[in-house]
């Protein structure tokens, strides 16, 4: 199977669904991780420019996805300024067409950050047009994938329908997130927490709900036309 996860920022996919992606990789799936924005405001260090932090985060993303042998699709839009328009939709359609996914994992439309909600909305809106031949972009059309929403950050306003037991790959998930080294000090400054703290709390909480040590939560997007279901996840 082919699996595409689309995150708004470098590190979102690591926090919210990389355990599931690691399990998909273990079962032999081909994994693609697309990142909409380049994270170019993700620092509080006045000596670092937007271009520099964007480049640093691109390198961190490359290293992170290599842990599970995934292909990185770097869309390079500005952090904090993601909008649903013709340019972003065209780029998202190409990301979907490049990955040709059976399963697509996107942000939930209730997440806290506008870039997350917008990335989720664009991805959802591009599910059908990516399959339409006369919608011309760089890559040819691809079949309509089954779409799952990943959990929101710390699970706010999100009731999972599906849990994936990620206990066996929690160290891989941790390793992937820790690759985003530039964010460790920044997140501590903004949220007062270590970079892995909230991810581990959320994993434990979803695990307690699911009856295992660590889990990730998902919802099936019930959009027409209905394609697959929860059996597509590991």
**How far apart are CB 150 and Zn ion at their closest, in Å?**
11
Closer residue to Zn ion (CB): 12 or 29 = 12
**How many whole angstroms separate alpha carbon 167 and alpha carbon 91?**
34
**How many whole angstroms separate alpha carbon 132 and alpha carbon 180?**
36
Closer residue to Zn ion (CB): 10 or 145 = 10
Closer residue to Zn ion (CB): 35 or 170 = 35
**How far apart are CB 212 and Zn ion at their closest, in Å?**
26
Query: Could you tell me which stretch among 4-12, 39-47, 103-111, 197-205 binds Zn ion (CB under 5 A)?
Result: 4-12
**How far apart are CB 228 and Zn ion at their closest, in Å?**
26
Closer residue to Zn ion (CB): 13 or 93 = 13
Query: Could you tell me which stretch among 2-10, 127-135, 188-196, 207-215 binds Zn ion (CB under 5 A)?
Result: 2-10
**How far apart are CB 62 and Zn ion at their closest, in Å?**
18
**How far apart are CB 111 and Zn ion at their closest, in Å?**
8
Q: Write each residue from 6 to 45 as x if it is in contact with Zn ion (CB under 5 A), else as -, in one continuous string.
A: --xx--x---------------------------------
**How far apart are CB 8 and Zn ion at their closest, in Å?**
5
The total number of residues written for the chain in this structure: 234
**How many whole angstroms separate alpha carbon 109 and alpha carbon 104?**
15
127: contact with Zn ion by CB under 5 A: no
Where does this chain bind Zn ion (CB under 5 A)? Answer: 8-9, 12
């Amino acid at each position: 199977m082919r699996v595409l996860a689309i995150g708004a920022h470098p590190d979102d996919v690591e926090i919210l669904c990389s355990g599931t992606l690691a399990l998909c990789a273990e079962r032999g799936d081909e994994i693609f991780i697309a990142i909409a924005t380049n994270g170019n405001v993700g620092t509080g260090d006045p000596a670092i420019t937007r271009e520099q932090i964007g480049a640093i985060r691109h390198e961190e993303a490359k290293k992170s996805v290599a842990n599970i042998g995934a292909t990185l699709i770097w869309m390079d839009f500005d952090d904090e300024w993601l909008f649903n328009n013709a340019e972003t939709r065209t780029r998202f359609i190409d990301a979907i067409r490049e990955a040709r996914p059976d399963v697509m994992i996107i942000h939930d439309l209730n997440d806290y950050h506008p870039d997350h909600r917008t990335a989720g909305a664009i991805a959802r809106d591009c599910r059908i047009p990516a399959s339409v031949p006369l919608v011309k972009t760089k890559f040819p059309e691809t079949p309509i994938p089954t779409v799952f929403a990943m959990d929101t950050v710390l699970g706010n306003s999100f009731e999972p329908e599906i849990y994936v037991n990620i206990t066996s790959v929690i160290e891989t998930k941790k390793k992937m997130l820790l690759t985003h080294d530039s964010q460790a000090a920044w997140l501590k400054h903004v949220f007062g927490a270590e970079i892995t703290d909230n991810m581990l709390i959320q994993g434990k909480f979803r695990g307690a709900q699911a009856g295992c040590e660590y889990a990730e939560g998902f919802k099936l997007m019930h959009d027409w036309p209905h394609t697959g279901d929860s059996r597509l996840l590991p």
